[in-house]
Chains A and B, each alone.
Chain A
Amino acid sequence: MKYIVALIVGLLFGVSLFIAAMIYNPFIADRGLSPLSVTDGEVMSLSYSSVPSENIIFTNDGDSRQQPHPQKVLQLWEASIRQTSMMTTVMRDARGQTAGIGIKFSSRSERTRLLNGEALVDSTWYIYLPGRGSLFIEQSENYWPFLREVAFPAWRSSANNWKGTWLGDMTSGPGALGTAKVIGGSGVLLGLDTHGLESLSVRAYSSDEGHVSAEGRLLIELPSIVADDGSE
């Protein structure tokens, strides 16, 4: 009997050890600076609030941590879209002025490999900037560093929240250097084919409600012909 107890205790200890090793694995480190953060080229900067209640609309399956906003918005409960969220938000330029409107579709990715430190989300942005045109952005985002450094400490805290300063690049592809693909669809941005990067800055997070204070930022590299017309 005592051998069975030892085996079960050992088994539980092993699973716990494995989970701890995954969370604190020093070999799964941040990628460091993205090439776009240090580019010499012109860059368009667009920021938005990452707190659902500060967006125009945010919806998901209704059972997730982040609650839909406004409260009576249609929820995405059907099987095909249950792991998807949708957001419409005001995009602000580098001076904090309204630059346009952004719509973000995010779906959990089947390429997620927690063993490799990849909690992936496939997301698509559509951004319309009055006077400049529209943009379509395709990217994969890796939420593992965020989960490890913000969400897990918040879950572990007795108050179920986390406060501090966390800044991370979320974009991890499809570009070879971990950048997003950006396509211009109209206006002066028509024909644009370039790279982008989304980063997230979190100051407060609750494991019950999700983001409490957080801001997202999109950096889009502009070729000189477009930059002459509208870079920040």
Chain B
Amino acid sequence: MLKTFIFGTLLGIAAGAGALYAYPAVDQHREASIVTVAPNGGNIESFHVNVPMDRIMVGAPGRKQPLPPGLRWPADEKLGGVRVELFKVRNARDIVVGVASRTLANDGDNNVIDWVLHLPARGSLYVTMQPQALEGGLRRGGITAGSREFAPLNGFMTERWVADTSGEEDAPSGRIELRANYVGEFVPQDDEMLE
């Protein structure tokens, strides 16, 4: 009986180790990326934010109706010119695929508009927008940095506010459209590719 007990113990240790090895502790849900090829090179991926339902936070000094209710924006003068918005981000199929922040800061002569898109299964994208909007309310900015899947990518992103014209009762008041244009860097895989 002692031998059976020892065998069971060893089996238990092996089962524990095997289970931890075989089954991933974390499995992030993935939505298939919807990427199109740009005519002049690179790939285009579109995201959008439905306003107001995807808006998590609007943090700015002096707001009478804070979002979310109960939010206390710091009263420090230093943060007087800073406005932070947090959103859920949807893909072209209108499925939530990540979260994002948009920071607007008036810092003397420099206006800063920064986006950070965080897609849990893929990585993060940091985009610095140009303060001046282009024709048609379009604003463009360069991809400054990225993490994981986005780390080797350069390119740019545009943002645009599109008001809802459907007239439906439960429709959002509009959407913020984000269009990322990725351009990858050529990384040779081996010596043969260099020849």
Contacts and interface: CB of A to CB of B under 8 A. Distances in A.
Nearest to B8: A10
Nearest to B104: A128
A62 interface: no
Nearest to A68: B68
Interface stretch (A33-41, A84-92, A164-172, A205-213): A84-92
A190 B96 CA distance: 31
A74 B88 contact: yes
A59 B56 contact: yes
Interface string A54-82: 00110100000000001111101011111
Contact of A14 (B16, B103, B124, B128): B16
A130 B128 contact: no
Contacts of B135: none
B99 A115 contact: no
Interface of A is mostly: mixed
Contact of A10 (B11, B20, B121): B11
Contacts of A74: 55-56, 68, 88
A79 B96 CA distance: 8
Interface stretch (A104-112, A152-160, A196-204, A221-229): A104-112
B74 A57 contact: no
A23 interface: no
Residue from the set B5, B17, B21 with the largest chain A CB neighbour count within 10 Å:
B5
Nearest to B56: A74
Interface string B124-157: 1010100000000000000011011001000000
Nearest to A105: B118
Give the size category of B's interface with A: 35 or more
B73 interface: yes
Interface of B is mostly: mixed
Contacts, number: 231
Contacts of A13: 5, 8-9, 12
28 contacts: A2-B1, A6-B2, A7-B8, A7-B11, A10-B5, A10-B8, A14-B11, A18-B16, A56-B74, A57-B56, A70-B69, A73-B71, A78-B88, A78-B96, A84-B118, A88-B86, A103-B84, A103-B101, A103-B116, A110-B24, A113-B25, A131-B107, A133-B112, A134-B103, A134-B114, A134-B128, A136-B126, A138-B148
Interface of B: 1-2, 4-17, 20-21, 24-31, 55-57, 59, 68-74, 76, 78-79, 81-82, 84, 86, 88, 95-99, 101, 103, 105, 107-108, 110, 112, 114, 116, 118-121, 123-124, 126, 128, 144-145, 147-148, 151
Question: What are the 6 tightest A-B residue pairs by CB atom distance, in nearest-first order?
Answer: A14-B12, A10-B8, A70-B70, A18-B16, A107-B120, A138-B147
